Structure 1
Amino acid sequence: MTVAQIAANTTVLAGAAVLAYLGFQFFQKKKKEIIPWNWEEVGSLSHLYIYPLKSGHRMEVTRAECTEVGLKQTEEDEKVLQLRDRGLVVYAERNNEFRTARTYPQLMQIDISVHDEKHLAIDAPTMRTLYVKIPNNTDNKEIKIKLHKGEECYSIDCGDEAALWFSRYILEKDTGLRLGYHDGSQRRDITKTHNKYLEFYKNLTNSSIGLYSDLTSLLLVNQTSVNDLKQRISNTTISANNFRPNLVVDGLDLKPYTEDNWEWIKIGDVVLRNVKDCTRCTMTTIDPDTSIRDKNREPLATLEKYRMSNGPDALPVMGINLEVRKTGIIKVGDKVLVSKK
């Protein structure tokens, strides 16, 4: 055998080895993606929340449709238009940057409901009810809103009357803020802005992301974890609502913080994937019903002592961010199952 033949054979063998390795890695990745067959019950769904406006007041429901981009009302509960979780967002007129209760706590006092087949009703203390015509991309202006880390997200502007109402309520001015609406027609792309998260959290993808949520389409909180945290804090009243969850799980045998290790979760016919720990900010220190900030930075200050993330952000954690892998209807009282190891 000549030197050239030996070299050629070596190249072929090396190529085959690389292909075999890549094939093995692909198989392993696909294997990990297979939805589990074996489940064990850990508790039940005790509360279910939709937040129609990002940073707005919660809407507690007894059932919801779980879509790929988050919860929305069922047709049985609202036949005209089903409000979606974080389907509306307040943004600054001058630069299109989103605004939240981190800066404007009074946003938490705003309630959103469906008025009729053409209008949303928006209410806040001391303000007249605002009736906003449900926008569409034919009659209303399409824009790009800047979310975290400069991510540009599709939106439809809700018009000048809504802009005036929000500017007066939040800024006590006639201009400055506007309201954006997401009709669910486009998905977000975080590959250009969230690389460090995608690299660290291996199960996090564009498919994990909600409409105007900070990141993923669902947030789950374990009630026993909240109870444990409450015992560590004095002179401050907190609840699961400080953490603005979509799903609250409770159970007699449930242990605090065990949710950190749940990889797959099944509620009814819905299947969810744990893709990230939920890092926490100053939003948790704002009373969800009064919009008053806690003077001692609780519960954030206590969480910082024992619940810090190992991820890219040096922030405390509470709860888990989920991707919806199988859609369906979920209801309060449904059993919560996790995949067996």
Structure 2
Amino acid sequence: MTELDLAYQNCRRIAAQHGRTYFLATRLLGPERRPAVHALYAFARMVDDIVDDSAAPVRAEESAAQLDRIEYELRGRLARTGRAGAGSWPVSSPQDRILLAVSDTIRRYAIAPEHFWVFLDSMRMDIPGTPQFRAHYPTMAALRTYMRGSAAAIGLQLLPVLGTVVPVPEAEPAAAALGEAFQLTNFLRDIAEDLDRGRIYLPADELTAFGVDADLLVHCRKTGRTDPRVRRALSHLIAVNRDIYRTATPGIDLLTPRVRPGIRTAATLYSGILDQIERTDYTVFTRRAVVPRHRRLRVAAREFAAAQPLRRTYAS
């Protein structure tokens, strides 16, 4: 087994361990595409873990330096021509393995490297002490600037791997919107965790329209009770989130037929988190909304069954 094979295996383990919904959706993709999707997930997860580790002031400078090193090494790997160049860098750590796999994926599927630089720039916005750092976002436009790198870029990274039935640029707006929809769902689900880290990833002006400010959110976190004003604000933002899903989901039909069930499953399950938030009466300060395992499996099975006629049609 080659170093590259081992690198992809490592990425698969990371995806299976940390991205349950994401990993389940990839099972509906063709086996030839799964390693690339796992590599992209593992790269994003690695960077996210570094950013999460930056909460302590003593770690922030080191975290920023780590992102700089990752960008430097990834640029260096991509500057080498041919797949052999990806393996010419040393592989001595889990981080090296992820970089080996993701650089091979970028090269193999001709993914625009700019999507990775935009992603890393947004991640620097999460690290205290960097010029880009932000703990709060005054408007949805400001939050979308962050999500352009943290989420839309992920959709654009995935698009060449998934394949399209139209020219890639035609499918990019929907792919970017789906990444943004997933990210906003995360923000609504993870309000409590983000508050514990001193962050609010919801637009301040839209919260203010419902009488909600940072102090009220912190109070709800401390008491474990969702104030009626917060409940109304969350209801509004869930509606905004669902509108983004409505914009994004028609783009699934622009993907190659074989991958549509996997992406549709991911979209259904992620949007289902919004249903869970509502079902539990917006108790986001004391519990993390999770789609039950039986529903995840049922949705995946339904999409897989619906895909069988398409698979036979396109295989014949």
TM-score by length of 1: 0.27
Higher helix share: 2
The structure with the largest alpha-carbon Rg is 1
Higher strand share: 1
Q: Kindly indicate whether structure 1 or structure 2 has the higher relative contact order, using CA contacts under 8 Å at least 6 residues apart.
A: 1
TM-score by length of 2: 0.28
